[in-house]
Amino acid sequence: MYNESARQLVLRFKHGRRIGLAKLMGRLMAGRLAAAPANALLVPVPLHRTRLWARGFNQAALLARAVAGHTGHAVAVDALKRTRSTPMLGGLGRAERARMMRASIVTSRKGAAAVQGRDVILVDDVLTSGATSAACTRALLDAGARSVRIACFARVREGVREGRVLERETPGTSTIPGAA
């Protein structure tokens, strides 16, 4: 659940550059993966290279590695690739997010071989509308993954935060310098 505590952790981790929080967040995520197949492959949601250069790290990759440290699952950091730079999705509604993500994520050649016939666990920090996860899942299944599960640190509950309706907002991004 994306409550105030989860929000603070995610914002400090992702935008505050407190990458050490990945260990705690990964441990908490790993605790929810007890039923996952032992041979599942962890695949982080990719960042476009320009966002990766600007941020300096891929938060989903750090989380995937932290989860792997607790579960023993293999990680394929480069299995997915973002083919175009999409704008920050904060402030966009569900349909706009889906449109922005359409055809923006593919499997790499190496990634397609790695996911072929495997159960995959897609790793991300926050699940908001599901547009990014859907694009990643489509790419993984098209590459031959047997199944795709989604593991995220927090999930934004549809429509409500602190009693307010959230149809066009990614919670917390408006308070972070540089976040759209």
Domain 4-175 fold is: Rossmann fold (3.40.50)
Token reading at 60: 């989903």
Average pLDDT score, the chain: 80
High-pLDDT (> 70) share of the chain, %: 75
> Are 127 and 156 in contact, with CB atoms under 8 Å apart?
yes
Token reading at 30: 């790993």
At residue 180, the pLDDT reads 29
Q: Where are the domains of the chain?
A: 4-175
33-88: pLDDT as tens digits: 988 998 999 999 998 888 888 888 899 999 999 999 999 999 999 999 988 766 55
95-114: pLDDT as tens digits: 666 566 666 789 999 999 99
Of residues 62 and 174, more confidently modeled: 62
| Terminal Cα-to-Cα distance of the chain (whole angstroms) | 22
Asked whether the predicted pLDDT for residue 164 surpasses 80, the reply is no
Secondary structure (3-state) at 31: coil
